[in-house]
Chain A
Amino acid sequence: MRYWIEAGQVTGRGASEKGVPMRVQVRVNGVEHEDEVEPRVLLVHYLREVVGLTGTNVGCDTSSCGACTVLLDGESVKSCTLLAAQADGHEVTTIEGLASPDGTLHPMQAAFREHHGLQCGYCTPGMVMAAVSLLAEHPSPTEAEVREGLEGNLCRCTGYHNIVKAVLAAAEAAPAPVGR
Chain B
Amino acid sequence: MTTTASPPGGRALPGPAEVAAGEGAATSDRARTGGGPGVTGVRSSRAGELRVVGQALARLDQAEKVAGTTRYAGDFALPGMAHARLVRSPLPSARITRRDASKALALPGALCVLFGEDVPHNTVWVDVPGQTVEVAALKASMEVLATSRVRFHGEPVALVVAESEDVLAEACELVEIDYEELPGVFDPEAALAPGAPEVHDGGNLLGEWRIDRGDCDAAFAGAAVVVEGTYETQLVDHAYLEPEAGVGWLDDHGVLTLRVATQVVEHYRDVARILGLPESRVRVLAPFVGGGFGGKEDMTVEPYVALAVLQTRRPVRMVWSRGESLLARPKRHPVRLAYRTAADREGNILAQEIEILADSGAYAYLSALVLLYSSVHACGPYRVANVRLRARCAYTNNPPTSAFRGFGGMQVVLGYESQMDRVADALGLSRVALRKRNSLSRGDALPVGQVLETEVALAATLDAALAAAGPKPAPSGPGRAVGRGIASNLQSYGRLVWLNDSAAAWVGFQLDGSVTLRCGVPDIGGGQASSLAQIAAEVLGVSMEHITVHFGDSSLTPLAGTTTATRQLLMSGNATYGACSALRDLLLAGVAAELGEPVEGLRLEPGAVVGDGVRVPLAEALVACRRQSVPIEALGTFYGPKGRPVTRDLDATRIFPDFTFGSHVCDLEVDLETGQVVLLRYVAAHDVGRAINPRSVEGQIKGAVAQGLGMALLEEVVVEEGVNLTGGLFQYLVPTATDLPEIEAVVLESGEGMGPFGARGIGEPPIGPPLAAVASALEEATGVRPTTLPFTPERVLACVAASAPARGARP
Contact = CB atoms under 8 A, between A and B. Distances in A.
Interface of A: 1-4, 6-7, 11-13, 18, 48, 53-62, 64-65, 67, 94-96, 98-99, 103, 105, 109-110, 112-114, 116, 118-125, 128, 146-148, 150-164
Given A57-B72, A59-B243, A161 B702 contact: yes
A151 B738 contact: yes
11 contacts: A12-B167, A13-B108, A59-B322, A105-B67, A112-B66, A114-B58, A122-B240, A122-B291, A152-B736, A158-B699, A159-B706
Nearest to A48: B75
Contacts of B71: 54
A59 B164 contact: no
A159 B322 contact: no
A125 B64 CA distance: 11
B321 interface: yes
For the complex of A and B, 7 pairs with smallest distance between CB atoms:
A55-B68, A120-B525, A122-B290, A121-B65, A95-B68, A159-B706, A64-B729
A6 B707 CA distance: 40
Interface string B687-698: 000000001001
A99 B67 contact: yes
B334 interface: no
Given A13-B163, A105-B67, A159 B702 contact: yes
Given A57-B241, A154-B241, A159-B743, A64 B702 contact: no
Nearest to A150: B737
B214 interface: no
B65 A147 contact: no
A109 B69 CA distance: 12
B695 A116 contact: yes
Given A122-B242, A159-B702, 16 more contacts: A57-B241, A61-B322, A65-B241, A114-B58, A119-B703, A120-B524, A121-B61, A121-B65, A122-B291, A123-B241, A147-B738, A153-B736, A154-B729, A154-B736, A156-B239, A158-B702
B62 interface: yes
B521 to A, nearest CB: 15
Nearest to B62: A113
B736 to A, nearest CB: 5
B145 to A, nearest CB: 24
A4 B167 contact: no
B740 interface: yes
A110 B69 CA distance: 15
Contact of A113 (B66, B72, B703, B707): B66
Interface in B259-307: 288-291, 293
A96 B706 contact: no
A105 B63 CA distance: 8
A160 B737 contact: yes
Contacts of B700: 119
B66 A109 contact: yes
Contacts of B70: 121
Interface string B50-64: 000000001101111
Describe A's contact surface by its main secondary structure: loop
A121 B241 CA distance: 9
B527 interface: yes
A34 B705 CA distance: 46
A117 to B, nearest CB: 8
Contacts of A53: 68
Contact of A1 (B165, B702, B734): B165
Contact of A116 (B699, B729, B737): B699
With a 10 A CB-CB cut-off, give which of A18, A61, A163 has the most chain B CB atoms: A61
A121 B167 contact: no
Interface of B: 58-59, 61-72, 74-75, 79-81, 83, 108-109, 163-167, 169, 238-243, 288-291, 293, 321-323, 524-527, 695, 698-700, 702-703, 705-707, 728-730, 734, 736-738, 740, 742-743
A157 B728 contact: no
A159 B242 contact: no
Contacts of A94: 68
B241 A122 contact: yes
A107 B737 CA distance: 21
Contacts of B240: 120, 122, 156
Contacts of A95: 67-68
Nearest to B292: A120
Contact of A156 (B108, B291, B321): B291
Nearest to A67: B241
Contacts of B525: 119-122, 157
A18 B169 CA distance: 13
A11 B290 contact: no
With a 10 A CB-CB cut-off, give which of B163, B290, B705, B742 has the most chain A CB atoms: B290
B166 A96 contact: no
Nearest to A117: B66
Contacts of A116: 58-59, 62, 695, 698-699
Contacts of B166: 1-2, 12-13, 18
Contacts of A61: 321-323, 728
A134 to B, nearest CB: 11
B79 A157 contact: no
B68 A56 contact: yes
Contacts of B289: 120
Contacts of B241: 57, 59, 65, 67, 120, 122-123, 154-156
Contacts of A163: 737
B65 A118 contact: yes
Contact of A151 (B108, B164, B169, B736): B736
A53 to B, nearest CB: 8
Nearest to A160: B737
Contact of A105 (B66, B164, B526): B66
Contact of A12 (B64, B109, B703, B742): B109
Given A12-B167, A156-B734, A158-B699, A57 B740 contact: no
Contacts of B239: 156
B702 A162 contact: yes
Contacts of A55: 67-69
A11 B323 CA distance: 27
A128 B738 contact: no
Nearest to B700: A119
A113 B779 CA distance: 39
A144 to B, nearest CB: 8
B63 A113 contact: yes
A46 to B, nearest CB: 13
Contacts of A162: 698-699, 702
A11 B66 contact: no
A56 B83 CA distance: 20
Contacts of B63: 105, 113
Nearest to A97: B68
